[in-house]
Amino acid sequence: MSGPSRPNSKLGSTTSAERPREGERLQKVLARAGIGSRRASEELIAAGRVVVDGTTAVLGQRVDTQHARITLDGVPVVVASDVVHWLLNKPVGAVTTASDPQRRATVMDLVPTTPRVFPVGRLDRDTEGLIVMTNDGDLAQLLAHPSHGVEKEYLAEVEGVPTPAEVRTLREGVDLDDGRTSPASVRIVQQRGDSSALSITIHEGRKRQVRRMCDAVGHPVVRLVRVRIGPVVDRQLPPGKWRPLTPAEVRGLYASALSTQNDASKAPG
Cα separation of 242 and 93, whole Å? 16
Residue 44 has pLDDT above 80, yes or no: yes
Q: What is the pLDDT of residues 132-145, one digit of tens each?
A: 999 999 999 999 87
Question: Are both 85-147+232-247 and 151-229 of the same fold?
Answer: yes
| Model pLDDT, residue 154 | 98
Q: Quick one: which of 186, 153, 151 has its CA closest to 169?
A: 186
Res. 53: pLDDT tops 60: yes
Predicted confidence band of residue 99 (pLDDT cuts 50, 70, 90): confident
Query: Long-range contacts of range 99-105, CB-CB < 8 Å, 24 or more positions apart?
Result: none
Give the closest residue to 25 by CA, choosing from 4, 46, 41, 48: 41
Separation between Cα atoms, residue 96 and residue 106, nearest integer Å: 6
DSSP 229: E
Looking at 53, 64, 100, 124, which residue is catalytic? 124
Band the pLDDT of 206: cuts 50, 70, 90.
confident
Q: What is the pLDDT of residue 15?
A: 46
Q: What is the CATH number of domain 85-147+232-247?
A: 3.30.70.580
Mean pLDDT for 158-164 is 96
CATH number 3.30.70.1560 given to 151-229: yes
Specify the pLDDT at position 220: 97
Residues 119, 131: contact at Cβ < 8 Å? Answer: yes
Residue 260: what pLDDT? 64
CB 107 within 8 A of CB 89: no
As a whole number, mean pLDDT of residues 51-79 equals: 94
Class of domain 16-77 as given by CATH? alpha beta
Mean pLDDT of 228-252: 96
Average pLDDT over residues 39-58: 96
Among candidate residues 98, 149, 107, the one with its CA nearest the CA of residue 127: 107
pLDDT band for position 89 (cuts 50, 70, 90) = very high
**Has 177 been annotated as catalytic?**
no
The domain locations on the chain are 16-77, 85-147+232-247, 151-229
Mean pLDDT along residues 196-200: 98
Tens digit of pLDDT for each residue in 6-30? Answer: 333 333 344 444 444 578 999 999 9
